[in-house]
Structure formats: structure tokens, C-alpha cells
Amino acid sequence: MDKTYSFDEFMDIVKKLRSKDGCPWDREQTHESLKQCLLEECYEVIEAINNKDGANLCEELGDILLQVAMHSAIAEEEKDFTISDVITKESEKMIRRHPHVFGDVKADTAEEVLKNWDAIKDLEKDEKDPKKELEKIPKALPANIRAEKVQKKAVKFGLELGSSSEAINEISERLEKLKDTITTGDNSQILDEYGWLVFNIIKLSLILQINAEYSLTNATNKFINRLIDVLFLSREKGCNLCNLTSAERDALWW
């Protein structure tokens, strides 16, 4: 039987890699240098989940665990915090935010749980200042997810999203503004109007209660599949897609 490793042994491996007798690459890593690695590993976990690949998911979750361990080891070296602190703080948070499990609060539905969760978060952070609440939404989030979170927060403050027809009208107005701006050739203004157009499309997704990220991912996947089909069709016809006229490309595509 293959050897199994405990969490403490795993942390010992990471600390060995970071030691003076360890790996030069691992030893050189910092919180800053590992940011991209952490982001990429998160996306690889999502990919494994989407592919329903349990074996790959197990491996990718291990890579995420390694990132947590590396950041914790770096922090311990800097006498900032330890992996034990990370685990303790998260355990305390989970107990505190689940009073229906660890306390005497009643919550029979997922909606009630989320309502309690948000109320407890507000008490924890004592965030009565809207400015502070909005500033706590990470700027490093993908732009569409950040826009979604900001608009959800705006609803919490009392701003109404409106109806889907109102949102569609706003999108139409923004599209017309973008068209007008394009004619000016002002790239700065074009960028601004394009941003507002996308922001309002995100707003529509919230009203329709659809996930904009999943929706765009689904559309992109369909585009990729269709593009592959078209490339094969053009190859079968002995032609290069780049050399076809617009009408010929459209005939292949549709």
C-alpha cells in the first residue's frame, strides 16, 4: 500500500523546500510571486469540476493546498502568522457564522442560512459605512464578477435593479451612445461607453437571475466547437479560411 501523509508531514515537506537545503525556486518565492500560480490553480480546479473529472479534481485541490501551505510558510518565516492561525481563524469563522448548527439559532432553508450569514458578516465587520463596504470588494476580481458584486451591494443599500425591459432599454441606449462615440474616434470615450454597456449587461443578468460568467463561458465553448467544425469543413473543401470571401465564410459558418 502506498504511504499516506498527514497534514503535519505535508507542512514539513513545504518547509523543507523553503529551507536553505531545499529547492532554490521554492526558496525564492514570495506572496507576490505566487499570486499568478494561485489564480491559475483556482481555474484548474474549476476546469476539473466542469469536466466532472474526480481524479484530476483531487490533484488540483492538492495544488491549491500547496499554495495555501506555501503562503502560510512564508508568513511564518516573516513572523506574520502560521498555518495553525489560518486553520483556527477559519474554524472560528465557520462556527460563528453557523449558529443554526453550533448554536441555538433556527434556519430551516438555504435562504435563511444566507440571510443569517450576511447579518453576522455585517456585525463582524461593523460596516455601517457604504464606502467601506464597497471598497472591500476586491479590485483583483475578474471585472464581470466585481461588477456583479457591486450591483448586488447597491441593491442591499436600497437601489433597485428594475425590470428586464428597463434594463434592455438601458442597454439599447448605451449601445447607441457607443455607436456615436465610435464615430468620434476618441478611444478614451469609447472605452468608457463600452464599459457602461457591459456593466448594464451584467445588471440584466442579475435581473434574469442568470450567471453572467457561466453564460459567457457557455457561449465561448459553443463558438469554439463551431469554429472547429468550420475549420474541418474548409479543410475538406481544400480551402483556407483566410482566403475565402465573407460570403463564403458565412456559408460555411451557418
pLDDT digits (tens, 9 = 90+) for 229-240: 888 888 887 787
Q: Given the C-alpha cell 458584486, which residue does it identify?
A: 149
Q: Which three cell numbers stand for residue 61?
A: 485541490
d(CA 239, CA 232) in angstroms, rounded, equals: 10
For the residues of 180-198, what is the DSSP string, one character each?
HHHHHT-HHHHHHHHHHHH
Question: Tell me, what's the pLDDT at 125?
Answer: 67
Q: Given the C-alpha cell 441606449, which residue does it identify?
A: 173
Q: Taking a C-beta distance cutoff of 8 angstroms, is the pair 107, 116 a contact?
A: yes
Question: Tell me, what's the pLDDT at 121?
Answer: 76
**C-alpha closest to that of 117 among 103, 143, 102, 96:** 96
Per-residue pLDDT of the chain (254 residues; tens, 9 = 90+): 588 999 999 999 999 999 999 999 999 999 999 999 999 999 999 999 999 999 999 999 999 999 999 999 999 999 999 999 999 999 999 999 899 889 888 888 888 888 888 777 777 765 567 888 888 899 988 999 999 999 999 998 889 999 999 999 999 999 999 999 999 999 999 999 999 999 999 999 999 999 998 899 999 999 999 999 888 888 887 787 777 788 877 887 87
Q: Which three cell numbers stand for residue 144?
A: 464581470
Q: What number does CATH give the domain 7-96?
A: 1.10.287.1080
Question: Tell me, what's the pLDDT at 126?
Answer: 57
* Rg value, the chain, Cα: 25
Question: Tell me, what's the pLDDT at 26?
Answer: 97
Question: Tell me, what's the pLDDT at 237?
Answer: 77
